[in-house]
Amino acid sequence: MPLETRRALRRYQIMSFLVGVMLLVLVGVAMPLQFVAHRPTMATIVAQVHGGLYIVYLLTAADLARRARFGLGEMVAVVCAGLLPFLAFYVEWRMTRRIHREWESPS
């Protein structure tokens, strides 16, 4: 795998992980606090952090998409991965396997 592709994959993996974790924190911790315990401060902060990370995540995904020639399904998967809890981890796992399969084997 070319070095730049490996780096692009690594950046995507890191951002995917952060976005996935932040979304879980938002949905699992901050939102219950906001709607059940009526303490919205954490939700406000976490939502903004998640939003910012999501933008950086989309940029790293775009970089990877350039190198690996994503199709429509893959682009949709990457976009949705940051929006649904747990989906980010699953999509990142599948994407890593797909990239490795393309670059590490002669076929």
Partner 1 sequence: MRSIWWSRRAITLHVALVVAVPLFLTLGTWQLGRALQGNLLSWAYTFEWPFFAGYATWMWWRLVHEETATVADLVPASARRSPGALLVGDELDAAGEGGATSEGGHATGEVAGVMAGGPGPVPRTDFDPFDDEADPELAAYNRYLTGLHAERPER
- Per CB under 8 A, residues contacting partner 1 are 2, 44, 47-48, 51-52, 54-55, 58, 62, 65-72, 75, 101-103, 106-107
CB of 19 within 8 A of CB of 82?
A: yes
Query: Residue 23 or 65: which CB sits closer to partner 1?
Result: 65
Count the alpha carbons within 13 Å of 7 in the hemisphere toward its beta carbon. Answer: 3
Q: Maximum CA pair distance of the chain?
A: 57
- Least distance between partner 1 and beta carbon 52 (Å): 7
- Least distance between partner 1 and beta carbon 35 (Å): 15
Q: Which one-letter DSSP state was computed for residue 37? A: S
CB of 103 within 8 A of CB of 9?
A: no
Query: Residue 32 or 48: which CB sits closer to partner 1?
Result: 48
- Least distance between partner 1 and beta carbon 73 (Å): 10
- Least distance between partner 1 and beta carbon 44 (Å): 5
The whole-angstrom distance between residue 45's C-alpha and the CA centroid of its chain comes to: 19
